[in-house]
């Protein structure tokens, strides 16, 4: 009975001595305990790495307590839950973030210093968890932090890749990719759940079975792989809630291939099994085009199948009627990567749970929401039906049925407009018949989200125009955001202290809107002085890093001008490099006396190119070739430096962003769905030099156009400019810079030819030439502002003051209230 259970619980609790204690003395005891018994080193002799391991295990213990309590509480109160399905999460490091969110940063610092260690030094021992490519994946990580902090009953689901995003090394200016086997030294931030496993099936055939005199189609799969759960606790800030990110790994299944066993082919049967177990091995490194790869499709289904089995099991534990599913479960498709979920859940409901098709479809249409991160239709995911039919024959049938029902309904609505019908079909006919994952996701989701206002307008007017006209109410937007916990509190502690001091509260850490309070102090010279000191400190940290990474010594008085993000033609790193060449050219041709008026610059570029993306790789090489020339030109000295920061990732970003004076966001208008890097720079008081693209349009609304440097063609001008083709006007300076590269001024003339061709008049799809003039003007305006430090500092303060709207807390609250319809569920302390 209840009394008995309560007595037992009390006894357990007293045996455990209550919860773990967080005073520095208890923390020291715990750390030493882990040194001795977990790391198995002598407590009298351990190094920084071992100290980091022991430290993280003591943090992990504290996370686990809260994580258990949170889930017990969710289980008891049965709120509607959100399941956030994403094939990528770019978490970065966990130690500092966890300790800060647990609220025991100071206690740990003190405990460690008494043991003779420094917290920050140990934190540097941790490697990044890089289970994602770029913006989309880091945005998922920010959203998890906000979901936990705002007490939403949410779960993240993803894949536990053994190899994360490749490490970028630069040899002779060229990018090389090295494997990121990140689990080599163990991972204290995950909990292996050897008993939480599901079988995932592939291949096989579809057969007719008789069910109560009716014919039904059932899948007889041919291959089985086991999925094992690895749970990653995600602590909220200022709350006990600690939610779960469950990542799946493929493991040997205990199903024996009896045939092979009997024929004595024991070794080969093991070797074959290992191949199937490699499903979750490696993250695909091309951010955005994954068309037609069988392994990628296997990964998607593996992830979807394991997650849905887990979700349905949890639902059935608490509820016994599938009609309740929409009231209890929200499934979010983070881009189209998890959209096989739609076919899979239909298969489960119809084939396994034996629901009537229409009933199942009505339920399913109420539970999915979808966010697309892509702008152009060519970037949308497609899966060849041949591939899908062989790997997942029953799912292909289900997709065809969804499509034919949709086509019937559509004909009733719009008539026999065959062009439009074929554009809206899930099935694309053509040379390679394929499934359009975006159309599927739109048809089945109750909400289709864009990631910024501008993006959403483009979706409605262009990319998904047909669907918008059919279902205008489905189309919404929720502007992206980033978490101020990681992007200020963790990565910029001195700014964090300054903000709390002048705002008179730490409440901005949970409510970023309070940052507008900085506007009240913008005219206070004392405040501005402290603000400048913080920036200088962060520039010092960055300068040291640059010197160790590249050997280039940089001056702290120079403007630190940064462009860090994936390398893409549309992001126009080439425009930046051309601008730098132009600057160098001007310096060389300038009267010596005039040079004293020039603002010294340190140009910093960083980012990875997809391994198969040749042009992007040439951009990296050109950057190095230009840097080589400029940095070794003694005549130029500190007036201009160019450094490429290798292996840009989350932890590098944490150092680079706080140290930037200016950051560049140069995408051709209409190509960046949102952009989230800009938001992190903004929060850190870095000025933006940007096109009116993605979320920048909304940033301007918040900080005013006087506080950033805007340039370039507007979205509505781009199409017209492109049409001009060879007749497009391009400034002489652009032609000159292009000529320099073509003529081999930076060496490797032949190698750079194809890169130069991409921006030649008539071929310049991303409009570098036509935007170059206004780009140089914006750069000149930045120089002009920088020589007035007080003006610059005010702009910097007003940037941070207007960044509150770009907190992922705002993003998540909007999604929760408007799209997912979930309520906070706070676990009591």
Which is it for strands 205-211 and 214-220: parallel, antiparallel or unpaired? antiparallel
User: What does the alpha-carbon distance between residue 52 and residue 788 come to, in Å, rounded to a whole number?
Assistant: 44
> What is the DSSP secondary-structure string of 278-327?
GGGSB----SS--TT-HHHHHHHHHHHHHHHHHHHHHHHHH-S-GGGHHH
Set 81, 138, 382, 571: catalytic member: 571
Tell me if 480 contacts ligand CJB by CB under 6 A: yes
Residue closer to ligand CJB by CB (options 796, 808) is 808
Residue closer to ligand CJB by CB (options 607, 675) is 675
Q: How far is the CB of 694 from ligand CJB (least distance, A)?
A: 5
Tell me if 337 contacts ligand CJB by CB under 6 A: no
Residue closer to ligand CJB by CB (options 166, 198) is 166
Tell me if 334 contacts ligand CJB by CB under 6 A: no
Residue closer to ligand CJB by CB (options 136, 191) is 136
Q: Which of 46, 74, 139, 644 binds ligand CJB (CB under 6 A)?
A: 139
Tell me if 251 contacts ligand CJB by CB under 6 A: no
Cα separations in angstroms, 199 against 184, 342, 503, 577: 26, 19, 53, 51
SS3 per residue for 140-181 = HHHHHHHHHHCCCCEEEEEECCCECCCEEEEECCEEEEECCE
Applying the rule CB under 6 A, the residues between 347 and 386 that interact with ligand CJB are 373-374
Set 373, 382, 485, 582: catalytic member: 373
Applying the rule CB under 6 A, the residues between 635 and 674 that interact with ligand CJB are 672-674
Tell me if 188 contacts ligand CJB by CB under 6 A: no
Set 676, 691, 811, 819: catalytic member: 676
Residue range at the interface with ligand CJB (CB under 6 A); choices 129-137, 353-361, 631-639, 727-735: 129-137
Query: If you ran DSSP here, which 8-state letter would residue 127 be given?
Result: P
**373 is known as an active-site residue:** yes
Tell me if 145 contacts ligand CJB by CB under 6 A: no
Residue closer to ligand CJB by CB (options 346, 451) is 451
Residue with tokens 């860090």: 564
Token representation of residue 745: 């001024």
How wide is the angle at C-alpha 392 spanned by C-alphas 202 and 245, nearest 5°? 70
Token representation of residue 522: 């913008």
Give bridge partners of residue 368 from the DSSP assignment.
331
Q: How far is the CB of 565 from ligand CJB (least distance, A)?
A: 9
The distance of Cα 75 from the centroid of its chain, to the nearest Å, equals: 29
Contact string 538-577 vs ligand CJB (x = CB under 6 A):
----------------------------------------
Tell me if 691 contacts ligand CJB by CB under 6 A: no
Query: If you ran DSSP here, which 8-state letter would residue 488 be given?
Result: I
Set 93, 332, 680, 805: catalytic member: 680
Tell me if 694 contacts ligand CJB by CB under 6 A: yes
**680 is known as an active-site residue:** yes
Q: Which of 21, 33, 273, 288 binds ligand CJB (CB under 6 A)?
A: 288
**566 is known as an active-site residue:** yes
Strand spans (E) along 418-522: 427-428, 434-436, 447-450, 475-477
Residue range at the interface with ligand CJB (CB under 6 A); choices 131-139, 538-546, 553-561, 752-760: 131-139
Return all residues near 124 (Cβ < 8 A) that are at least 6 apart.
Answer: none
Tell me if 805 contacts ligand CJB by CB under 6 A: no
Coil vs helix vs strand at 204: coil
**676 is known as an active-site residue:** yes
Q: How far is the CB of 436 from ligand CJB (least distance, A)?
A: 16
Residue range at the interface with ligand CJB (CB under 6 A); choices 130-138, 244-252, 573-581, 785-793: 130-138
Which contacts of 394-400 are long-range, i.e. CB under 8 A and separated by 24 or more positions? 394/206, 394/217, 394/218, 394/219, 394/347, 394/351, 395/301, 395/340, 395/343, 395/344, 395/347, 396/435, 397/206, 397/217, 398/343, 398/346, 398/347, 398/350, 399/343, 399/426, 399/427, 399/435, 399/440, 400/427
Residue closer to ligand CJB by CB (options 104, 154) is 154
**665 is known as an active-site residue:** no
Tell me if 675 contacts ligand CJB by CB under 6 A: yes
Q: Which residue is nearest to ligand CJB (CB)?
A: 135
Residue closer to ligand CJB by CB (options 287, 561) is 287
Residue closer to ligand CJB by CB (options 451, 682) is 451
Contact string 605-634 vs ligand CJB (x = CB under 6 A):
------------------------------
Number of residues that bind ligand CJB (CB under 6 A): 16
Token representation of residue 786: 């920088």
The distance of Cα 747 from the centroid of its chain, to the nearest Å, equals: 36
Tell me if 772 contacts ligand CJB by CB under 6 A: no
Query: If you ran DSSP here, which 8-state letter would residue 827 be given?
Result: P
Tell me if 332 contacts ligand CJB by CB under 6 A: no
Q: How far is the CB of 144 from ligand CJB (least distance, A)?
A: 14
Give bridge partners of residue 191 from the DSSP assignment.
231
Tell me if 453 contacts ligand CJB by CB under 6 A: no
Residue range at the interface with ligand CJB (CB under 6 A); choices 132-140, 180-188, 310-318, 725-733: 132-140
Tell me if 481 contacts ligand CJB by CB under 6 A: no
Residue closer to ligand CJB by CB (options 576, 676) is 676
Using the CB atoms, write b or e for 388-410: b if 16+ within 10 Å.
bbbbbbbbbbbbebbbeebeeeb
Q: Which of 231, 287, 428, 809 binds ligand CJB (CB under 6 A)?
A: 287
Residue closer to ligand CJB by CB (options 394, 810) is 810
Coil vs helix vs strand at 807: strand
Query: If you ran DSSP here, which 8-state letter would residue 214 be given?
Result: E
Using the CB atoms, write b or e for 567-601: b if 16+ within 10 Å.
bbbebbbbbbbbbbbbbbeebeeeeeeeeeebbbb
Task: Give the active site residues.
Answer: 373, 565-566, 571, 676, 680
Binding residues for ligand CJB, per CB under 6 A? 134-136, 139, 287-288, 373-374, 451, 480, 672-676, 694
């Amino acid at each position: 009975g209840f009394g008995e259970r309560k007595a037992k619980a009390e006894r357990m609790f007293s045996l455990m001595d209550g919860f773990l204690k967080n005073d520095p003395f208890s923390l020291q005891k715990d750390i030493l305990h882990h040194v001795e018994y977990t790391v198995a080193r002598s407590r009298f002799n351990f190094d920084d790495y071992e100290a980091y391991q022991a430290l993280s295990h003591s943090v992990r213990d504290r996370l686990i307590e809260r994580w258990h309590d949170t889930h017990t509480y969710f289980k008891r109160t049965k709120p509607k839950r959100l399941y956030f399905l994403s094939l990528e999460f770019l978490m970065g490091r966990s130690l500092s973030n966890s300790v800060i969110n647990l609220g025991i940063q100071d206690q740990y610092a003190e405990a460690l210093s008494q043991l003779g260690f420094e917290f920050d030094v140990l934190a540097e021992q941790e490697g990044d968890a890089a289970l994602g490519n770029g913006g989309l994946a880091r945005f998922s990580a920010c959203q998890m932090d906000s979901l936990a902090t705002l007490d939403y009953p949410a779960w993240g689901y993803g894949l536990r890749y053994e190899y994360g995003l490749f490490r970028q090394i630069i040899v002779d200016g060229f990018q090389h990719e090295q494997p990121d086997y990140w689990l080599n030294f163990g991972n204290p931030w995950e909990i292996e759940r050897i008993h939480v496993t599901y079988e995932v099936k592939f291949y096989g055939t579809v057969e007719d079975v008789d069910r109560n005199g009716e014919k039904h189609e059932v899948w007889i799969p041919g291959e089985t792989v086991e999925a094992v759960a690895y749970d990653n606790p995600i602590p909220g800030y200022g709350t006990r809630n600690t939610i779960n990110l469950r990542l799946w790994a493929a493991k040997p299944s205990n199903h024996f291939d009896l045939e092979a066993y009997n024929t004595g082919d024991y070794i080969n049967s093991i070797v074959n099994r290992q191949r199937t177990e490699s499903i979750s091995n490696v993250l695909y490194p091309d951010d955005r085009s994954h068309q037609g790869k069988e392994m990628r499709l296997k990964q998607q289904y593996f992830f979807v199948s394991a997650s849905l089995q887990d979700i349905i099991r949890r639902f059935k534990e608490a509820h016994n009627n599938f009609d309740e599913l929409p009231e209890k479960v929200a499934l979010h498709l983070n881009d189209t990567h998890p959209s096989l979920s739609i076919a899979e859940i239909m298969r489960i409901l119809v084939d396994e749970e034996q629901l009537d098709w229409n009933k199942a479809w009505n339920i399913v249409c109420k539970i999915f929401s979808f966010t697309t991160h892509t702008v152009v239709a060519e970037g949308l995911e497609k899966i060849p039906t041949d591939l899908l039919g062989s790997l997942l024959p029953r799912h292909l049938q289900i997709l065809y049925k969804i499509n034919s029902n949709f086509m019937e309904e559509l004909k009733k609505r719009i008539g026999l407009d065959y062009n439009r019908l074929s554009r809206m079909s899930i099935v694309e006919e053509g040379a390679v018949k394929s499934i359009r994952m975006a159309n599927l996701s739109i048809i089945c989701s109750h909400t289709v989200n864009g990631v910024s206002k501008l993006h959403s307008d483009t979706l409605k007017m262009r990319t998904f125009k047909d669907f918008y006209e059919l279902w205008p109410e489905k189309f919404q937007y929720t502007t992206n955001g980033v978490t101020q916990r990681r992007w200020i509190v963790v990565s910029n502690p001195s700014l964090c202290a300054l903000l709390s001091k002048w705002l008179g509260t730490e409440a901005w850490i949970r409510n970023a809107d309070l940052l507008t309070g900085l506007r009240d102090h913008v005219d206070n010279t004392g405040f501005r002085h402290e603000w400048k000191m913080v920036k200088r400190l962060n520039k010092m940290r960055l300068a040291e890093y640059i010197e160790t990474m590249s050997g280039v010594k940089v001056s702290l008085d120079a403007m630190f001008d940064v462009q860090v993000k994936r390398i893409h033609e549309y992001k126009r790193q080439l425009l930046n490099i051309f601008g730098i060449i132009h600057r160098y050219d001007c310096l060389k041709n300038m009267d010596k006396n005039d040079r004293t008026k020039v603002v010294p610059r340190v140009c910093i570029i960083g980012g990875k190119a997809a391994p198969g993306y040749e042009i992007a790789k040439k951009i990296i090489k050109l950057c190095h070739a230009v840097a080589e020339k400029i940095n070794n030109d003694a005549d130029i000295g500190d007036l201009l430096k160019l450094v490429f920061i290798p292996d840009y990732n989350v932890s590098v970003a944490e150092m680079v962003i706080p140290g930037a004076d200016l950051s560049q966001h140069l995408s051709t208008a209409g190509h960046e769905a949102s952009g989230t890097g800009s938001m992190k720079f903004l929060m850190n008081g870095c000025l933006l030099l940007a096109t009116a693209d993605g979320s920048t349009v909304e940033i301007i609304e918040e900080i005013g156009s006087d506080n950033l440097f805007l340039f370039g063609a507007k979205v509505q001008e781009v199409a017209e400019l492109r049409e001009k083709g060879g007749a497009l006007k391009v400034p002489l300076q652009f032609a000159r810079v292009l000529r320099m590269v073509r003529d081999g001024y930076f060496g490797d003339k032949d190698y750079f030819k194809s890169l130069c061709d991409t921006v030649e008049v008539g071929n310049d799809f991303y409009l570098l030439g036509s935007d170059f003039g206004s780009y140089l003007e914006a750069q000149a305006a930045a120089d002009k502002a920088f020589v007035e430090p007080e003006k610059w500092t005010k702009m910097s303060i007003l940037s941070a003051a207007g960044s509150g709207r770009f907190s992922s807390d705002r993003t998540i609250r909007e999604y929760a209230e408007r799209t997912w319809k979930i309520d906070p569920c706070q676990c009591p302390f």
